[in-house]
Amino acid sequence: MSGNDQAQRVAEAVRTVPMFRGLAPGAQSHIAGLATLRDFRRGEHLWHEGDPPESFTIVVRGRVKVVKEGESSDVIYELFGEGEPVGAIAVYNFMPYPAAAVALEPTTLLVLPRRDWFELLDRNPEFARAIIRELTRLVLGLTRKLDEMRGQTVETRIAQLFLTLAERIGRDTKEGTELPIQLTRQEVADLVGTTVESAIRVLSRWGREGVLLTGEKRFVIPSRARLRELAGAGGESTRGPLA
């Protein structure tokens, strides 16, 4: 609980964040002097839609969903993992957060007050480039999500979701590809734009058929090729036998 421990944790966090990794040690400790850490439990809100963004924030531990919470259903826009800045758009434009952020796991956030962040931005042009890179990633992720949500059947969309997750956070084990992420069926539904029941139907069938296994805080994909078939053959119009 000593301030020293805290300071060391912050310094450690700053060192490991990709965005700051290339900086000189002096610059790093300067940033560490301005930043703080905040911890969240699973399910806890980092912020709500409409909140004013007081700080620039980076995920240093855990995972976060950015979610538009509707009265009857939610939409998950994007998932953020370790090392990624979250909510960058709102902070930069000083606009109310357009969506809420919720911790999917026990999560630690590196928090840099808005004012300090803008001073750093002025002094280090490469930070602007980091922001542009981050926004690029966002745009590409969203366009891919648009592709996925269109037309296709629910099964296809869920297959594509897990293939994407496999690429981003999958680890190969002897059972197959392991996804160390905790997602409820509701969250899977929100990610592909369907209802809980439909998500459940697909996932429980896949469990029986051995396509995708749900475990404690993880999923396992025995055969990615199998998933890829399901992802490809979705709503494709029964193309004539000769077409």
Partner DNA sequence: GGTCGGACATGATGGCCGTCATATCCTCGG
Partner DNA sequence: CCGAGGATATGACGGCCATCATGTCCGACC
Residues forming beta bridges with residue 218, ordered by sequence position = 215
Q: Is 197 in the site for DNA (CB under 7 A)?
A: yes
Task: Report the C-alpha gap between 237 and 108 in whole angstroms.
Answer: 46
Q: What strands lie across the sheet with 74-80, from one edge to the other?
A: 45-47, 100-103, 64-69, 74-80
Place of tokens 């840099």: 112
Q: Do residues 222 and 139 make contact, with C-beta atoms less than 8 angstroms apart?
A: no
Residues forming beta bridges with residue 178, ordered by sequence position = 171, 220
Q: Is 220 in the site for DNA (CB under 7 A)?
A: no
Name which of 159 and 191 has its Cβ closer to a copy of itself. 191
Name which of 89 and 196 has its Cβ closer to a copy of itself. 89
Tell me, residue by residue from 199 to 218, as one string, x for binding to DNA by CB under 7 A and - for no binding: -xx-xxx-x------x----
From the list DNA, a copy of itself, none, partner contacted by residue 147 (C-beta under 5 to 8 A by kind) = a copy of itself
Q: Least distance to a copy of itself from the beta carbon of 193, Å? A: 4
Task: Report the C-alpha gap between 162 and 192 in whole angstroms.
Answer: 10
From the list DNA, a copy of itself, none, partner contacted by residue 213 (C-beta under 5 to 8 A by kind) = none
Residues in region 174-193 near DNA by CB under 7 A: 184-186
Report the sign of the C-alpha dihedral through residues 232, 234, 239, 242, in that order: positive
Name which of 39 and 236 has its Cβ closer to DNA. 236
Which residues sit at the interface with DNA, rule CB under 7 A?
Answer: 72-73, 151-155, 184-186, 194-198, 200-201, 203-205, 207, 214, 235, 237-238
